[in-house]
Chain A
Amino acid sequence: MRRRKTKAVLAFIAAAVTTFLLASINHTLFVLHELAELGIAISTSIRMQAISGDMAGLLPGYGAVISLGLLLAFTFLKFISKKLVNQPNPQWYWWGLAGGFTLFSALMLMQPLLNITLIAGARSDFGFAMQCLSGVCGGVIYGMLRPQTPIAGEKEL
């Protein structure tokens, strides 16, 4: 039981870290791409510095939003799959969908705060989709790593 919980926590951490890293990298690459489109020369080392700097800068705010969002989404998915369809172990793609929905919801909820796009990397449709895809990847990681919940009577079958 304890081992299963530990495994579930580790799977969640892996999902949150994956989602945040991909979302942060996507954000930075999008912003740098927009600058490059203006004719600004950006070397590989400057790009790498920007990526690592943004990870540190985004972690307290965006990182917290992503982690909390994924926790709510995964909890909700587990609850409805167990209660509504009597299936405590949804397929990996359902977890991916939950991860993608988390980023979609977070970005959509942030927009009305000031009627601006707080995550600059999500200003274009493509950038927005890439942020959501980051959540999908994190969700899939969780779906693949999470421990399976034993189904009642399974041992007897």
Chain B
Amino acid sequence: MRQVTFLQAVSQQSLICIMVLLFLIQVQTIRADQPELKVTEVVRGLDSPWSLAELPDGQILVTERSGALKRVHNGQVQNIEGVPAVYFAGQGGLLDIKLHPQYPENGWVYLSYAYGNRSENALRVMRGKIKNNTLVEQQILFTAAPFKDTPVHYAGRIAFMPDNTFLLSIGDGFDYRESAQKKDSLLGKIIRLNDDGSIPSDNPYIADSGTRGELFSIGHRNPQGLIYDKKRDLVFSNEHGPAGGDEINIIKPGKNYGWPVITYGRDYSGASITPFTEYPGMEQPLVDWTPSIAPSSMVIYYGDMFPEFDGDLLSTTLKTREVRWVQMQGRKPGKQTSLLNNLDERLRHIEIAKDGSLYLLTDSGKLLNISR
């Protein structure tokens, strides 16, 4: 019979204790990876809210797709007058809102919206200033050409760059998907403009004949998330694929993101969009979501409240009704986690508040604040 000395027994006990301790630390780490999220309803009853911007004083401007611009303050909702008429149909209407990077000095508010009518409509961008609760000094900066006759796939997301130019995502109009590859059309593109709407002289296609000078990247379907990452100095975008093929991309000037020549999705009819998932000269997605989650908006989190999210991508989704947290290791995507799916809401927009909490807009008309 094998004799166990006192020292050996103590060692075995210690080893077990250390293993249990390590397990507990691991469990604690997993818990710490997923912060407790406290959901507070700021306001409800908004009409198809699409985007929001937080003013320096903490008031919130919310766009409603039906064409209204609302100011939310202390739970009260106030209408901003003088907003331009929008084409409210299908997926069209008043879309994104962004403040100029020097908003405290110049007061410019940028709006994207569907303009026109059933047979001729397009994405348009204007800017104005809010004075006495009215949008004044309005300037129409851009209208996407050519006009189309479908009320869907406008995209319409605005993202300011450090040089005060802004990027704008333009959808393919659904029935015009091949236009995403045509450089004389603005459908299915991400474009870059100066803050006054003029075309920057250093745009990637500016010297090409027969090509629109506004183009920044081509081959997009319906990009609903578009953000500049100030720490990585990169532009990230997410976009709706068809049935499958939703994507996150790192957007680089002059690159072709492949739609509709390459995609991992299929057409809603069940047919293929294309026989290809790869093609020379076309970029592969950073993240492919097949089956679709229907990403509607995206932020890169930098803030004090949720250090767990630092530098990671948070996408709201419509189909899977969640915030999809994509953890980043440098430029590479890692683990994905579904957050707030217990809300069971189609989440339309996400924004980082000044205090590091998150704002969410739901298709049911709620503005939610997410804190810990």
Contacts and interface: CB of A to CB of B under 8 A. Distances in A.
Interface in B325-350: none
Contacts of A57: 266-267, 269-272
A53 to B, nearest CB: 6
Contacts of B271: 24, 27-28, 31, 54, 57-58, 119-121
A115 B152 contact: yes
Given A35-B261, A115-B150, A118-B268, A49 B275 contact: yes
A42 interface: yes
A40 B270 CA distance: 22
Contacts, number: 71
B365 interface: no
B175 interface: yes
A62 interface: yes
B178 interface: yes
B261 A40 contact: yes
Interface in A110-147: 114-121, 123
Given A35-B261, A40-B279, A53 B152 contact: no
B151 interface: yes
B274 interface: yes
Interface SS of chain A: helix
B178 A37 contact: yes
B136 to A, nearest CB: 34
Contacts of A115: 89-90, 150-152
Interface string B178-189: 100110000000
Interface of B is mostly: loop
B174 interface: yes
Contacts of B274: 31, 35
Nearest to B262: A40
Interface residues of B, number: 25
Nearest to B152: A116
A38 B178 contact: yes
Interface string A45-67: 01101100110011111100000
A50 B272 contact: yes
A61 B175 contact: no
B344 to A, nearest CB: 24
Interface in B256-301: 260-261, 266-276, 279
B148 to A, nearest CB: 11
A60 B270 contact: yes
A35 B282 CA distance: 14
Nearest to A43: B275
Contacts of A27: 271
Contact of A118 (B89, B261, B269): B269
B275 A119 contact: no
Contacts of A47: 275
B175 A117 contact: yes
A120 B269 contact: yes
A37 B271 CA distance: 19
B270 A58 contact: yes
Contacts of A62: 269-270
Contacts of A49: 275
Contacts of B261: 35, 38, 40
A40 B181 CA distance: 11
Interface in A53-101: 53-54, 57-62
B90 A120 contact: no
Contacts of B260: 35
A57 B177 CA distance: 20
A4 B322 CA distance: 58
A34 B182 CA distance: 12
9 smallest beta-carbon distances between A and B, as pairs: A57-B270, A54-B271, A116-B174, A50-B275, A46-B275, A38-B181, A57-B271, A34-B178, A58-B270
Given A58-B271, A59-B270, A118-B268, 16 more contacts: A28-B272, A31-B274, A32-B275, A37-B178, A38-B182, A40-B276, A49-B275, A54-B271, A57-B266, A58-B270, A60-B270, A115-B89, A115-B152, A117-B174, A119-B269, A120-B177
28 contacts: A27-B271, A28-B271, A28-B272, A31-B271, A32-B275, A34-B178, A35-B260, A35-B261, A35-B274, A40-B276, A40-B279, A49-B275, A50-B272, A53-B272, A54-B272, A57-B266, A57-B269, A57-B270, A58-B269, A58-B271, A60-B270, A62-B270, A114-B90, A115-B151, A117-B174, A118-B269, A120-B267, A120-B273
